[in-house]
Amino acid sequence: EDKVVQSPLSLVVHEGDTVTLNCSYEVTNFRSLLWYKQEKKAPTFLFMLTSSGIEKKSGRLSSILDKKELSSILNITATQTGDSAIYLCAVVWGSSNTGKLIFGQGTTLQVKP
Amino acid sequence: DTEVTQTPKHLVMGMTNKKSLKCEQHMGHRAMYWYKQKAKKPPELMFVYSYEKLSINESVPSRFSPECPNSSLLNLHLHALQPEDSALYLCASSPGQGTGNTIYFGEGSWLTVV
Closest CA to A54 of A25, A27, A32, A86: A32
Query: Which residues in chain A are closer than 8 Å to B54, comparing Cβ atoms?
Result: none
The predicted pLDDT at position A53 comes to 81
Query: CB-based contact (8 Å) between A41 and chain B?
Result: yes
Q: How far is CA A1 from the centre of its chain?
A: 20
The predicted pLDDT at position A98 comes to 59
- State the pairing for strand pair A10-14/A107-112: parallel
For residue A67, report the phi and psi dihedrals to the nearest 5 degrees: -75, -20
In a structure prediction context, what are the per-residue pLDDT tens digits for chain B, which is 114 residues long? Answer: 568 999 999 999 999 999 999 999 988 888 899 999 998 899 999 999 988 999 888 889 999 999 999 989 999 999 999 999 999 999 999 887 665 568 889 999 999 999
Distance CA B54, CA B34 (A): 11
One-letter identity of residue B87: A
Query: Is the Cβ pair A103, B105 closer than 8 Å?
Result: no
Going by the DSSP 8-state scheme, the letter that residue B40 receives in this structure is T
Query: Which residues in chain A are closer than 8 Å to B100, comparing Cβ atoms?
Result: 31-32, 50, 92
Residues of chain A with pLDDT under 50: none
Question: How far from A88 is each of A32, A57, B36, B85, CA to CA, in Å?
Answer: 14, 17, 15, 22
The Cα of B48 is separated from the nearest Cα of chain A by a number of Å equal to: 8
One-letter identity of residue A98: T
One-letter identity of residue B82: Q
CB-based contacts of A57, cutoff 8 Å, min separation 6: none
For residue B38, count other CB atoms closer than 10 A to its CB.
Answer: 13
CB-based contacts of A71, cutoff 8 Å, min separation 6: A22, A23, A24, A25, A65
Query: Is the Cβ pair B43, A43 closer than 8 Å?
Result: yes
In chain B, helix, strand, coil percent, each to 5?
A: 5, 55, 40
